[in-house]
Chains A and B, each alone.
Chain A
Amino acid sequence: MTALQRAIAHPVSVPGMRSTSPVAGLDRRSVGAWDVLGQSVAAAAPAAATTTVPVLVATSAGGATLPAVVAATLLALLVSVAVNVFTRRMAATGSLYTFVSRALGARAGVVAGVAILLGYSFIAMFALTGAASYLGPLAEELGIAGVVLLPVLALPVLVVPLWGARRTARVAVVMEGASLLLIVVLGVALLMRTGPPDWGGMTHTVTAPGMVVGTVLALTGFVGFESASTLGVEARRTFTTVPRAVTWTVVVSGVIYVGAVTLQLTAFQALGRDLGSSTSPVNELSAAFGPPWLAGVLDVAIALSFLACAIASAVAMARILFAMGRELVLPEWFGHVNRVRQVPTVATRVAVALIAGPPVLAAAVGLDLQALMGVFIVLAAAGFLTAYALVCFAAPAFARQIGEPHPWTTVLSWSGAVLISASLVTFLVLQVMTAHAATAWAFVVLLAAGTGLGWLRLARSPVARDRVGMYDEPTSQDILGGDS
């Protein structure tokens, strides 16, 4: 008789297992691989970012635009290596918040949690405002006032995440997929008109500051790629599908950005203009090379991608608030799950209120939405970079703690930690030195305030302290020899 046969015939009792999972109520293992990938891709929104990222990078990096985008892709890959140390081993809803809590303790976890929540909420505000600004001209023709447009767009962001994890992810995939397909088709069509890129005719002066700033700005096109990890509990074959989704989102986005930058540089060169001086390159290119109706179609496609990003960010944010609710770091009702839809309804509604509130209010009082988008993206990027740096520090520590060290991932995670930390500091210093000084300080204040409140809660509640880092623990029903 082998040991396995013996174990099956007479299971060894494994005491101390819970009878229910701390995340009970969610629709466990219901979301398929493509939808999990869709969550991450939609949150990163590469289709919409092709309109913002290349020009943003070109403005600061000049000749180093393409190298900066490639460098950002590699940096994002380093972060994905660190994130996947966790996603391969634990199914959680709290994403980087839970990961950092497990590895570096509750206090560091709270910093990561506040940072990533700032990231998701501001990227969602950016996306929502972006959708409104792209749909603005169309809405005007249809007689919809700009003030009404934002609340109308916020409606799907509230409703879709309440449909259940699987359907929400499917909607986000279809929206982002349609948008992406159109952008790629147009890109290929444009390439056939302009001919192959003429590298010799372009400027290649690479300056170190330009490269660093360009890389950090290009990174904003990737943020959100880790959001598949918020579906850890709800994904099927979670230890395979989630890490794959995280890595592939970076690869897919990277390829799209490299393509978009090459194409935009080529096309602007053909027009005899400089990409960095353009305000809206995709629209200007469609006006220059395409038929007149194309601009409207493009606007709708980009708005779709932005909306998918807002929806995916709301989903991710809700899962993190849910985790904090179940841990009692936030009030208990954040951990409530609707029995029929099996989604954290309260956390979702709060997330959407936080996302939709500021842009809707700003539009109502008549603030300049374009300027506001600039503020949102800076706050979001700073939030994500903070959380990424922490998770890169956390990954090697976690691997050591659980007795599964891995030399390569340690080296890569540490490189990520150093490079991302340096990027974050550069980014913030740069913002302080330029027009966005107030925004950079606002980020520091928001992060400090959130962290302070979180630490206060931890100090007062031993239960919360004990529960932080909660994940979908195995129950006695899952194991051989569990006392049921």
Chain B
Amino acid sequence: MSFSFGHPDVVARLNGAPAPEGSINARQPGAILHALQILECVARRGPGTTASEISTDLRVSRATTYRLVRLLADDEYLVRMPDLRGFTLGRRVAELAAPAAPAPHLSRAARIALAVLRDRVRAGVHLVHYSGTRIIVTDEDTDIPLTDPHRLLTDPGSTAAGRLAAAWEEAQREGRRPPTHAQQVRHGSPKRGCLALPVPDDAGHLVAALLVEAPPARLADPEELMSILLSGVSELTLLLT
């Protein structure tokens, strides 16, 4: 977990040096540096840092600050506090510091098992792992890639994999039987829907999930798909845990 904003000017300005003449605005590459400085500033000041405070701290004009915090909020790196006054860091900033390749190593046997599954179901078959609250794509189908991999990071709760994790947690908390699958089908969507099957370890914790993306019509009655997939999932469970 190592990264730095190595540019000496930036470091100097973080330490309070005045802004150079002809200060940069949000349309220039300097905006990226400013954006990182803003995150740094909110991290230093803590939850509830206001745009005025950021503007004063970084000696950036208010208009530029407003524009940059809006862009950062659009991508949820910054989140406005419930009273709309001030900001706090969004969960997404954790991605900035996440190790480049957190995906667990996949054994050859597991890769072969996935390849066999892909041949049999004729749909996009992907493997994801759960790491804390994050969902990491471990093995993506190269022939039929994920329709919206970005959403797994930005809005996991609305994906099949995220729904599966939530349902799994809830079932464990309430002592019910864990769910057999979770689905995400957008009604009438031209995009593909997604089916997620759990891969638990011996202790019953959800380790990974097998995602199958197929047209909504095929997912409307998942029994046929499930019968093919379940054997594959039990094989993967042995290979992954």
Contact = CB atoms under 8 A, between A and B. Distances in A.
A5 B79 contact: no
Given A239-B70, A479-B88, A7 B43 contact: yes
B80 A8 contact: no
B88 A403 contact: no
B201 interface: no
A434 B172 CA distance: 71
B104 interface: no
Contacts of B62: 404, 406
A17 B82 CA distance: 8
B88 A480 contact: yes
A336 B81 CA distance: 26
B7 interface: no
B155 interface: yes
Given A28-B158, A404-B50, A406-B66, A7 B89 contact: yes
Contacts of B133: 477, 484
Given A163-B188, A341-B187, A404-B66, A474 B82 contact: yes
B4 interface: yes
Given A5-B1, A240-B74, A474-B82, A14 B88 contact: yes
Contact of A18 (B70, B82, B94, B96): B82
A193 interface: no
A138 B84 CA distance: 53
A403 B85 contact: yes
Contacts of A237: 74-75
Contacts of B5: 2
Contact of A403 (B63, B86, B94): B86
A interface, how many residues as a size bin? 35 or more
Nearest to A484: B133
Given A402-B84, A402-B85, A403-B52, A12 B46 contact: yes
B51 A403 contact: yes
Contacts of B90: 474, 478-480
Contacts of B71: 239-240
Contacts of A28: 155, 158
Contact of A240 (B70, B80, B93): B70
A6 B157 contact: no
Interface string B63-78: 1001000110111100
A401 interface: yes
B63 A238 contact: no
B97 to A, nearest CB: 4
A101 B209 CA distance: 44
Nearest to A20: B157
Nearest to A5: B97
A9 B155 contact: no
Contacts of B40: 2-4
B93 A8 contact: yes
Given A164-B187, A480-B89, A473 B82 contact: yes
A124 interface: no
A88 B79 contact: no
B43 A404 contact: no
Contacts of A102: 84
Contacts of B89: 4, 7-8, 11, 479-481
Nearest to B70: A239
Contacts of B158: 28
A328 B51 CA distance: 32
A481 B186 contact: no
A12 B65 CA distance: 24
A9 B155 CA distance: 22
B47 interface: yes
A204 interface: no
Interface string A239-264: 11000000000000000000000000
A9 B43 CA distance: 11
B74 A8 contact: no
Interface in B77-126: 79-86, 88-91, 93-94, 96-97
A435 to B, nearest CB: 46
B196 interface: no
A133 B154 CA distance: 47
Contacts of B88: 14, 479-481
B43 A6 contact: yes
Contacts of A403: 50-52, 85-86
Contacts of B70: 88-89, 239-240
A142 interface: no
Contacts of B51: 403-404
A31 to B, nearest CB: 12
A8 B4 contact: no
Interface of A: 2-9, 11-12, 14, 16-18, 27-30, 88-90, 102, 163-164, 166-167, 237-240, 340-342, 401-404, 406, 473-474, 477-482, 484
25 contacts: A3-B40, A4-B40, A4-B43, A5-B3, A8-B1, A12-B46, A14-B88, A29-B155, A88-B70, A89-B70, A164-B186, A240-B70, A240-B74, A401-B84, A402-B50, A402-B86, A403-B50, A403-B51, A404-B62, A477-B133, A479-B91, A480-B89, A480-B91, A480-B93, A480-B94
Given A8-B89, A480-B89, 7 more contacts: A4-B36, A4-B96, A14-B88, A163-B187, A237-B75, A474-B80, A478-B90
